[in-house]
Structure 1
Amino acid sequence: MTRSNELVQELIDLDKKHFFHPTSPIKQQQEQGPAFIFTEGKGIHLFDVAGNKVIDGMSSLWNVNVGHGREELAKAAMEQMTKLAYSSCFATFSNEPAIRLAAKLAQVAPGDLSVTFFTSGGSEANDTAYKLARHYWILKGKPNRKKIISRTKSYHGVAMGSTSATGLKAFRDFTNSLAPDFLYVDHFSSKSLLETIEAEGADTIAAFIAEPVQGAGGVHVAPDHYFQEVRQICDEYGILFITDEVITGFGRTGKYFGIEHYGVVPDMMCFAKGVSSGYAQLGGVMISSRLYKEFTELSNGTLLHGYTYSGHPTACAVALKNLEILEQEHLIENAQFIGQELLKGFQWLHGERYIIGKVKGLGLMAGIEFVKDQNKNENFSTPVSPAVVNEAAKRGLICRAVVLDGQDILVFAPPLTINKEEIGKVIEILNDSIKAIEKNVFESLATKE
């Protein structure tokens, strides 16, 4: 529904004056105001105050897996709120939605991951995993095992611990006082992990954390056998293996959880985003039955960690309905099938547009790299993916640029409800967007080189 010009301008002015936007250019916010003011979502589409309709090619933040405007989820929230909107889960208090969701997660998670600690989101989930790993070694009488190893190009969140674990340097440079005892290894090299463990001493390492597919870092799919080798190394040196499934969980990659593609089971698994498709704030950490048994046997006091909204009844009720939709509508299988169509489309673009380098992805998370020369795989000195993002937005498609750590990548993660015809529209808009700016932008940049 289109709003009046006066109302739109009022919202822009209020936004510029009062809303400090997350992960946004501050000067651009003040000078230009919000890029979109969304008022409605339906399926894969979003609508703004000016009446514009755009394809949400990122599921907003990789998380609206079942699509926008699902009345079933609104109804689940309303029904739970009218009974019990919120109650604490401290001091062993509980509620039925949290219990049911924990049981459901145990049913669908890989291997013996069977116990869940709930949080409000992904950053909290990752911070929780680091604290649980370190506390585990304290209980085991090995308090020196406190270092957490992560990978380059990784993203694990923006809380203090998760920022410190993030392998993208720009996020760490945002603050001048990182948490100690975080290390980084090459994102595709199990040898790098092994060498770091041996250099630091295994008796100082608490855990290793990895995304099954690196998302915000540029959609990097690990080489064959990488995670099998990682699991073997962690087992050999007694190091806890944590997977960060905040983006890759709940069907995004074409399986319930991304790590299932690799045939290994972690000791802990962090999740958020797709568990509720963004309809309620929810995350958590799943731990193995073996690990939980040891926590139970070795603990003799209170677990001094928890969030106000851990096990939030309404959020858990929404998540239960969300998982029901994923399964009943076969959206995980759709992600696998339609993801192949998306990659085919990207491969076609690679042949049509000379500045496209590697295309990659798994399920419905995919990326396109931009290069000056496909044969040499060289990047432009000034990244061009932001220009493509802007052009695509004008034509009705939201996507995202990754320009961190010397990368120039366009990434996509549409809702799992997307169909073949809609994928075709995405490819059409992308082709037109890149074609529209090739002559004006890419050739001028090449000349400057």
Structure 2
Amino acid sequence: MKVNSSAKDQKISKPAGFISIDSAVKQNREQVVENHKTYLNAGLAMMLGLLNFDRQFVRAEGIYVWDSKGDKYLDFLGAYGALNTGHNHPRVLEALDRVKEMPNLLQASLGTVAGALARNLALITPGNLQRSFICNSGAEAVEGALKMARAASGRQKLIYCEGSFHGKTLGALAVTGRGKYQKAFQPLVPGCTSVPYGDLDALEYELKKEETAAFILEPVQGEGGIIIPPPGYLPEVRRLCSKYGTLLIIDEIQTGLGRTGKMFACQHDDVIPDIMCLAKSLGGGIMPAGAYITTDEIWKKAYGGMEKALLHTSTFGGNTWAAAAGIAALEIILEENLPEKARETGEYLLSGLTRLKEKYPLVKDVRGRGLMVGIEFNQPGGLAAKASFGLATKLSEEYLGSLVAGELMNKHRIITAYTLNNPNVIRLEPPLSVSKEQIDIVLQALEDIFATHKGFFSAAKAGAKSIIKSFIKK
């Protein structure tokens, strides 16, 4: 076949406006916002801009981040629990440097570092959990766990809890307990049934039909508003699942690796799951990493032998850099005894928040375990009623937590956010090395907000109107 010489010699050049990495890191805030509004999620960019959350952060270390103006912030959001070891921990960066010349992606081989990470996970997880599948995110870990449960059990039905959050991919979304995130994507994966969190009678009613592959739950509901299960709930769940031949999947994606004061939250109740999901802080705050781990027996039922070895795979799962970050993260958590630090400083934080609750009626509840803490607010009287826009009542239900988070960010330079399934709750999930002195700064900032809440919520009403006007213009 003859090749046209002019086509053969034609060079591919960078298009006008192409941004190099050197230019990318030198962009200003306005350029970053414009890129997001034009090429990414415009609605999200608008939402963050309304609360002045569209700052440009340029440096991070430990619990601190700095914006492009040089202002310093305390990060009490912690990437929703992904920063147990803090921002840019030097030992994680050193681990990446150690493997930088190794092949990162090479499927026709057995990953050297991935095998070591899997061995370490088997050593630190409870009971006889042994075989891991390493992936890239929490949603992937949940997807894999659900697939494994169906393959190993021969059953199809899946049970999950109301108020739960397990991810936004189609399978994980099917077992996520908030209709807002499900409605646009229906029909979801069939055979999924919800029960109230903490309701053993409702759970047994479904389990005794003996058609359920797995019951998936969080040992503390994160996006549900930092909900602690009733005493004795998890052990009884374990007993019921065993009784009716249902696999128990415990989602430790947000609670795991020290966050709640133990290495895994299920260990507070001495409960051993059949399958455990991990992610977030497994990547050391730097690399995307997730995993699910199960027993040798369950693994062999699902994927044992060469015939079934390729039923569930991932191109990037277990890549060298992510596995190296995972090993370093586990070393840091163990050697720095971060679970115990989380227990001690978490008790200190909850104690301080409880004092604020007793003092200020605006605070409806404070709850948590370790450094996974939520503050729930009462609706301020008259805020919605006095607003002159019909949407204000509905909007205030989704707005109050973000108002407090906005005040913490804009006035006190403290980063937090509300929980997705309960927007009247803001979460406090700092790196596990946080000090009591840093916690005191947050407690004082919250007291300043609560002490002046009348003026604050007067401004909030105006803010709600501005948001409604912005939506109307769109």
Please, what TM-score do these two structures have when normalized by structure 1? 0.88
Give the letter for the 2:440 counterpart: G
List per-residue Cα deviations over 1:33-73 (Å, max 9, x = no partner): 86222111111111111222111111122111111131221
State how 1:46-445 maps to structure 2 within 5 Å: 46-88=65-107, 93-138=109-154, 145-198=155-208, 201-202=209-210, 204-295=211-302, 300-372=307-379, 382-383=396-397, 384-394=400-410, 395-402=412-419, 404=421, 408-441=424-457
Distance 2:349 2:52 in 1: 32
Q: Percent sequence identity over matched residues?
A: 29
Q: Aligned with 1:81: secondary structure? A: coil
Deviating more after overlay: 289-298 vs 392-401: 289-298
Deviating more after overlay: 206-215 vs 324-333: 324-333
Distance 1:220 1:183 in 2: 20
**How far did residue 444 of structure 1 move?**
9.0
**How far did residue 272 of structure 1 move?**
0.3
Distance 1:236 1:175 in 2: 34
CA contact (8 A) 1:39 1:48 kept: yes
**How far did residue 176 of structure 1 move?**
3.0
Distance 2:87 2:459 in 1: 38
User: Which runs of 5 or more residues in structure 1 are unaligned?
Assistant: 139-144, 375-379
Give the letter for the 2:416 counterpart: C
CA contact (8 A) 1:13 1:33 kept: no
CA spacing shift, 1:102–1:432, aligned 2, 3 Å: same
CA spacing shift, 1:175–1:442, aligned 2, 3 Å: farther
Distance 2:70 2:432 in 1: 25
Distance 2:449 2:284 in 1: 29
List per-residue Cα deviations over 1:352-400 (Å, max 9, x = no partner): 22211121000100111112599xxxxx973322211110111111111
Aligned twin of 1:43: 62
Give the letter for the 2:87 counterpart: H
RMSD: 2.6
The match for 1:15 among 36, 58, 66 is 36
Give the letter for the 2:99 counterpart: Q
Distance 1:440 1:278 in 2: 34
CA contact (8 A) 1:86 1:314 kept: no
Q: Aligned with 2:248: secondary structure? A: strand
Distance 1:108 1:31 in 2: 44
CA spacing shift, 1:402–1:325, aligned 2, 3 Å: closer
Distance 2:460 2:431 in 1: 35
Distance 1:74 1:321 in 2: 9
Number of aligned positions between the proteins: 423
List per-residue Cα deviations over 1:402-448 (Å, max 9, x = no partner): 3636x621111110010111111111112222333334417998xxx
Distance 1:137 1:49 in 2: 53
Aligned twin of 1:141: none
Please, what TM-score do these two structures have when normalized by structure 2? 0.83
CA contact (8 A) 1:113 1:289 kept: yes
Distance 2:431 2:252 in 1: 17
CA spacing shift, 1:297–1:75, aligned 2, 3 Å: closer
CA spacing shift, 1:296–1:404, aligned 2, 3 Å: closer
Q: Aligned with 1:25: secondary structure? A: helix
Distance 1:400 1:16 in 2: 21
Give the letter for the 1:9 counterpart: E
Distance 2:230 2:50 in 1: 43
CA contact (8 A) 2:380 2:457 kept: no
Give the letter for the 1:286 counterpart: I
Q: Aligned with 2:65: secondary structure? A: strand
CA spacing shift, 1:274–1:30, aligned 2, 3 Å: closer
Give the letter for the 1:73 counterpart: V
CA spacing shift, 1:298–1:175, aligned 2, 3 Å: same
Aligned twin of 1:377: none
Distance 1:364 1:233 in 2: 30
CA spacing shift, 1:442–1:108, aligned 2, 3 Å: farther
Deviating more after overlay: 32-41 vs 120-129: 32-41
User: Rg bigger for which structure?
Assistant: 2
User: Which runs of 5 or more residues in structure 2 are unaligned?
Assistant: 1-24, 382-392, 462-474
CA contact (8 A) 1:16 1:30 kept: no
Q: Aligned with 2:376: secondary structure? A: strand
Q: Aligned with 1:183: secondary structure? A: strand
Distance 1:252 1:188 in 2: 21
CA spacing shift, 1:330–1:5, aligned 2, 3 Å: closer
CA contact (8 A) 2:303 2:309 kept: no
Q: Aligned with 2:28: secondary structure? A: helix
Give the letter for the 1:42 counterpart: E
**How far did residue 30 of structure 1 move?**
7.8
Deviating more after overlay: 395-404 vs 305-314: 395-404
Distance 2:220 2:310 in 1: 31
CA contact (8 A) 2:148 2:302 kept: no
